[in-house]
Amino acid sequence: MKPLQTSSGDLNADRRADYAEMLFASGDHAAAAELLLGALELAPQWAMGWFRLGEMQEASGRLDLAAQAWRTSLQLDPADRQGAGLKLQLIGKAPAATAPPSAFVETLFDHYAETFEEMLVGKLHYRLPQVLDAAIRQARPGRFRLALDLGCGTGLMGERLRPIVDRLEGVDISASMLRKARAKGIYDALTKADLQGFSHAGERPDLVTSADVLIYIGGLEGIVQTVAGLLADGGLFAFSIERLADGGDFALQPSRRYAHSDGYVSRTLLANGLSILALEPTIIRQDRREPVEGLAVVACKARAA
């Protein structure tokens, strides 16, 4: 996928944008937005600049102007690699969607691949692989024939799975993340794929994992149906969600991740023939120095009669 244009391509516009960032960092959000708007008059096709203008306008409290900037960004980059459509939803200027743009998720993780583990584990105290590993071992001690790690990233979950599986396959939307995972040498196969339209034609796994991934999907009906269809009889599906505290099934959060309710997760699993073995509250990571509450879930596909 073509990378985002981080420079406007115009030296004078870039200088103005740099000054705008300095003003923004100092807390003068309105002046920063005005200066960046001047830069965009010199480089009107700069989608990333329009997205950043929207953020500055939002910070200054001018939501109508923020919406205009994000709509312009969307027009210039219809794939929406910056996630402008999600920002519009969060300020009530676009209808709620059941999933983020795939290009946004891919771009996000391609960008963070180099520092992903340092940030997530070292600074945000991410511990889901340990939590899911313990839940899997408690639900079914022993080895698994084939595990499929959906949204494998750099392989943090895979490192936990490797000692208990005969064959381990990983799937991720980000080529940069897959390069990191491949360098570890823990997966027998790695595939680049979008989980929103994922299919698996190989041998049926008896374990499928998805650690801190469904937060980038939203509506779970499609992925749960897919997993239930590809799992071997008696196979396990171990995954996590961020918990939705305010009612409803799922909702987009200011982080541009989705949170899901316990009841929605349970109903969706049961509707697809998966019984719940574990539904454990856990702290997934820190976000802005606050704990992110979630669930670690293990479900089982019924064995054929």
Task: From 170, 202, 200, select the one nearest 186 (Cα to Cα).
Answer: 170
- What per-residue confidence (pLDDT) applies to 120? 84
- What per-residue confidence (pLDDT) applies to 6? 76
Q: What is the pTM of this model?
A: 0.91
Q: Which amino acid is at 191?
A: T
CATH superfamily of 114-301: Vaccinia Virus protein VP39 (3.40.50.150)
Helix (H, G, I), strand (E, B) or coil at 235: coil
pLDDT (tens digit per residue) in 94-153? 999 999 999 999 999 999 888 888 888 888 888 899 999 999 999 999 999 999 999 999
pLDDT (tens digit per residue) in 120-134? 888 888 889 999 999
Task: From 227, 100, 202, 92, select the one nearest 145 (Cα to Cα).
Answer: 202
pLDDT (tens digit per residue) in 191-220? 999 998 888 888 999 999 999 999 999 999
37-51, 157-171, 277-291: least confidently modelled range: 277-291
Q: Which ranges in the chain are annotated with CATH 3.40.50.150? A: 114-301
Q: Which ranges in the chain are annotated with CATH 1.25.40.10? A: 11-95
Give the containing element (helix H, strand E) for 201. none
Per CATH, domain 11-95 is 1.25.40.10:
yes
Please give the C-alpha separations between residue 215 and each of 35, 52, 185, 197, 219, in angstroms, as whole numbers.
35, 24, 27, 16, 9
- What per-residue confidence (pLDDT) applies to 304? 65
